[in-house]
Chains A and B, each alone.
Chain A
Amino acid sequence: MNLSSTYRKVFLDPLVDNNPITLQVLGLCSALAVTSQLLPAIIMSIAVIAVLAFANVAVSLLRHVMPRSIRLIIEVTLIASAVIVVDEFLKAFFPEVSTVLSVFVGLIITNCIVLARVETFAMHNNSFSSLLDGIANGLGYSWILLTVASLRELFGSGSLLGYSVLPMAEAGGWYEPNQLMLLTPSAFFIIAGLIWLIRTVRPAAIDQNVVTSASNAEPNQDGN
């Protein structure tokens, strides 16, 4: 496998075939909590992508220096720093959204996706492919989050990004909103539906990945 196709695989794999939410079923907490509207979900997605990219690159750069005995502490310190920086940025420039997201930005620190990528990928790969891996996993997380949030806001509030799409019955329109969509369980149902859909459309890729994900998803270009 030549270099560029390796990178392509590193980038494309987490989007569908090895998606952190639908395949690895990680990061569900925030996927359930921040998806009742689209705007917070967009901001949350950007925050997770930024944290994943930073943490992956930082850990990858330090991977030869880090003593094994304290590697988890160092990884979490780096992740936590990135999350605090992101949180402060949100508080300064998106104060309203920051209020809506409340603790869930801080909880990116404990988002399993971040630690999983840092531990299993960035510790063994060069910084460029770690950057790609971070962004790609962030995007894999994001498109699920945005799909769930779009569906929930559209059918729960009849709007997208706050703009009315389906005129609500209480405001004189015809759409009777589905209250379930405003509640957390609806995110479970939608994610379950997406997992079903992805596994039905791409059964071959999924099965192969489940068996060999360790060798497939983590190319070792630098012989580490």
Chain B
Amino acid sequence: MAERESIGRTLLVAGGVALVCSLIVSSTVYWLRPIQLAYRSLDQNFAIIVAAGLAAPDATLPDSEVVERFLRLESRLIDLDSGTYAEQSSLTAQTYDFQAAADNPAQSREISKVEDIAGLGRRPDLMPVYILRTGETIDRVVLPIYGRGMWSTIYGYLCIEGDLLTVATVHFYEHGETPGIGDRIQDPAWIARWVGKRIYADDGTLTLRVGTGGVGSGAFAPVDAITGATVTVTAVDKFVRYWLGDAAYGPFLANLRNELN
């Protein structure tokens, strides 16, 4: 049995097992990825209609119904810097992937240190937005938001009322926060605390705050924190403020408000 315990044999067996196992794992992931992505895109549409108030978060809808309700929304692509619509023939909100764009130097820009309160590093030049209208009136606007939480990147949609000043609701659809603690950002009871919070004061300053200490002053509209999930909630506060600020959706929302008046 001496040979079985030799260094050469040990390396050979370890290498062989590692090679076979990695082949099995990577080929499984390779074959299953398209199916997972198809589900993911449907899941995205579902997250958007939930944020827009067209479905309950726990509703189980057939796939066709999800698509049908999603199509009631007007999907637009906007340029964040100018706040104007930016569709091109080859590029629409349906085909645009903002997660991929954020990593692509040609489609994103570095955020300056002063503006980067959420530590995002880069952000895409363009973002999709989803507008629910009745006739010409805007009912709701759904904005994708994301940022680093405690362990993971948190993805969500913030839905704004037709006045473009108050929160209609928020929906975090993807995160890897601590189960039972940080994942309570998906708790309906906590989400309910966002509803009706004032985002901008009349002079346009950002008044929405999420859960940080000492924000009880009358000038702000704070959403209560989640006990035990300080890091996650603070991160949400920072990236929500970043995305609603002048460096991101601010110009677009200002343009839309001008359209209203």
The interface of chain A, by Cβ under 8 A from chain B, is 62, 65-70, 73-74, 77-78, 80-81, 84-85, 88-89, 91-93, 95, 102-103
**A residues less than 8 Å from B24 (CB atoms):** 81, 85
**B residues less than 8 Å from A80 (CB atoms):** 21
**A residues less than 8 Å from B22 (CB atoms):** 81
Q: Which of B4, B28, B39 is close to A88, meaning CB atoms less than 8 Å apart?
A: B28
Task: Find the B residue at minimum CB distance from A85.
Answer: B28
Is there contact, CB below 8 Å, between A91 and B5? no
Is there contact, CB below 8 Å, between A70 and B36? no
Is there contact, CB below 8 Å, between A78 and B21? yes
5 contacts between A and B (CB under 8 A): A67-B10, A69-B10, A70-B10, A88-B28, A102-B179
Is there contact, CB below 8 Å, between B5 and A68? yes
Stretch at the interface among B11-19, B109-117, B251-259: B11-19
Report if B25 contacts A (CB, 8 A): yes
Q: How far is the CA of A81 from the CA of B32 in the complex (A)?
A: 15
**B residues less than 8 Å from A91 (CB atoms):** 32, 36
**B residues less than 8 Å from A93 (CB atoms):** 35
The interface of chain B, by Cβ under 8 A from chain A, is 4-6, 9-10, 13-14, 17-18, 21-22, 24-25, 28-29, 32, 35-36, 39, 43, 179
Task: Find the B residue at minimum CB distance from A104.
Answer: B179
- B16: min CB distance to chain A, Å: 9
Task: Find the A residue at minimum CB distance from B18.
Answer: A77
Q: How far is the CA of A3 from the CA of B32 in the complex (A)?
A: 41
Is there contact, CB below 8 Å, between A81 and B179? no
**A residues less than 8 Å from B6 (CB atoms):** 67
Q: Which of A68, A69, A78, A92 is close to B17, meaning CB atoms less than 8 Å apart?
A: A78
**A residues less than 8 Å from B28 (CB atoms):** 84-85, 88-89
Q: How far is the CA of A122 from the CA of B10 in the complex (A)?
A: 20
Is there contact, CB below 8 Å, between A67 and B21? no
**B residues less than 8 Å from A70 (CB atoms):** 10, 13-14
Closest 9 CB pairs of A and B: A81-B21, A92-B35, A92-B32, A67-B10, A85-B28, A95-B39, A92-B36, A88-B32, A84-B25
Is there contact, CB below 8 Å, between A66 and B25? no
Interface centre among B6, B9, B21 (most CB of A within 10 A): B21
Q: How far is the CA of A103 from the CA of B39 in the complex (A)?
A: 19
- B61: min CB distance to chain A, Å: 12
**A residues less than 8 Å from B43 (CB atoms):** 95
Q: Which of B4, B29, B179 is close to A67, meaning CB atoms less than 8 Å apart?
A: B4
**A residues less than 8 Å from B179 (CB atoms):** 102-103
- B104: min CB distance to chain A, Å: 26
Q: From known contacts A67-B4, A67-B5, A102-B179, infer whether A73 and B32 are also in contact, taking CB-CB under 8 Å.
A: no
**B residues less than 8 Å from A69 (CB atoms):** 5, 10
**B residues less than 8 Å from A81 (CB atoms):** 21-22, 24-25
Q: How far is the CA of A91 from the CA of B214 in the complex (A)?
A: 42
Q: How far is the CA of A80 from the CA of B179 in the complex (A)?
A: 21
Is there contact, CB below 8 Å, between A67 and B35? no
Q: How far is the CA of A221 from the CA of B28 in the complex (A)?
A: 35
Q: How far is the CA of A91 from the CA of B4 in the complex (A)?
A: 40
Is there contact, CB below 8 Å, between A73 and B14? yes
Q: From known contacts A67-B9, A85-B24, infer whether A92 and B14 are also in contact, taking CB-CB under 8 Å.
A: no
Q: From known contacts A67-B13, A88-B29, A91-B32, infer whether A77 and B21 are also in contact, taking CB-CB under 8 Å.
A: yes
Q: From known contacts A67-B10, A85-B24, A102-B179, infer whether A62 and B17 are also in contact, taking CB-CB under 8 Å.
A: yes
**B residues less than 8 Å from A92 (CB atoms):** 32, 35-36, 39
- A187: min CB distance to chain B, Å: 15
Q: How far is the CA of A89 from the CA of B25 in the complex (A)?
A: 11
Q: How far is the CA of A177 from the CA of B28 in the complex (A)?
A: 42
Is there contact, CB below 8 Å, between A77 and B17? yes
Is there contact, CB below 8 Å, between B13 and A65? yes
- A83: min CB distance to chain B, Å: 10
Q: How far is the CA of A78 from the CA of B9 in the complex (A)?
A: 18
**A residues less than 8 Å from B36 (CB atoms):** 88, 91-92, 95
Is there contact, CB below 8 Å, between B25 and A85? yes
Q: How far is the CA of A66 from the CA of B179 in the complex (A)?
A: 37
Is there contact, CB below 8 Å, between B32 and A89? yes
- B66: min CB distance to chain A, Å: 13
Q: How far is the CA of A76 from the CA of B190 in the complex (A)?
A: 40
**A residues less than 8 Å from B9 (CB atoms):** 67
**A residues less than 8 Å from B10 (CB atoms):** 67, 69-70
Task: Find the B residue at minimum CB distance from A75.
Answer: B17
**A residues less than 8 Å from B29 (CB atoms):** 88
